[in-house]
Structure 1
């Protein structure tokens, strides 16, 4: 059996400001931006550069009860994990672009990590996993 997680939905306030943040500050690729007139919404998908795995569906809050979750989808915990092949390159680029880090870089047993906020306040780990880490081995083997 082969299965994979294709998208993770991230509730956003505005499609265009979210696209701007992810493509210009994090260098994500805009994979799809399709208007769905029957639902008066857009299907907006972004992905990290060079990634062939899971993508992020930018889902605009469409009901009042969804709005409180913008920026707090995980109750204040780190929600998403962005692995990189060069931690310091990306960390320094993100700092230069005004991204706020709430936990400074730290060497851990699994690799280098720092925590940043996206434009709405969701917490992300920026990390560079060490060679031999099980996730790195899965990626080498072609699994997502």
Structure 2
């Protein structure tokens, strides 16, 4: 059952520390904090970050709770590319991200679907920076 009123809004990303993760996503990727609300008295927060002009899904930064969640930090997808950051100007964003210290795992490459390069976030999760050839992708 799907309809035009439904969409994937958030992807939960397990992190060590809210503020550390917020700082990295703001400083390295230029994301903004969309929401940062305290939940209860235990230090839990509802933290949502995303690109400046986020029109799609955003990240819910979820502080690890217990050993099993801590073990998943940086490896939520078993070492595969996990998240995809689309851009309308690959060269601009690739250069800016490198200048801010983002570590790319490969040189940019041209694929049938677009220009892409894999980078790692502060915990080692793998991302694609991708300029799709079809802007509707």
TM-score, with length taken from structure 1 = 0.89
Supply the distance in 1 between the matched residues of 2:19 and 2:136 (Cα, whole angstroms). 36
Supply the distance in 2 between the matched residues of 1:111 and 1:137 (Cα, whole angstroms). 12
| Partner in structure 2 of residue 142 of structure 1 | none
CA RMSD across the alignment: 1.2
1:55 paired residue among 54, 58, 77: 58
What is the deviation of 1:39? 4.9
State whether structure 2 residue 92 is matched by structure 1 residue 92: no
For structure 1, list consecutive stretches of 5 or more residues without a partner in the other structure: 139-144
| Partner in structure 2 of residue 141 of structure 1 | none
For structure 2, list consecutive stretches of 5 or more residues without a partner in the other structure: none
What is the deviation of 1:63? 1.2
| Partner in structure 2 of residue 105 of structure 1 | 108
What is the deviation of 1:38? 4.8
| Partner in structure 1 of residue 25 of structure 2 | 22
1:9 paired residue among 9, 12, 20: 12
Alignment of 1:44-83 (within 5 A): 44-83=47-86
Aligned residue pairs total 134
Supply the distance in 1 between the matched residues of 2:129 and 2:93 (Cα, whole angstroms). 8
- 1:80-118: per-residue Cα shift (whole Å, max 9, x none)? 000001101110111111111112100111110000000
Supply the distance in 1 between the matched residues of 2:9 and 2:119 (Cα, whole angstroms). 24
Give every structure 1 segment of 4 or more consecutive aligned residues whose post-TM-superposition deviation is greater than 3 Å.
Answer: none
SS in 2 for 1:10: strand
SS in 2 for 1:104: coil
Supply the distance in 2 between the matched residues of 1:56 and 1:62 (Cα, whole angstroms). 18
| Partner in structure 1 of residue 136 of structure 2 | 137
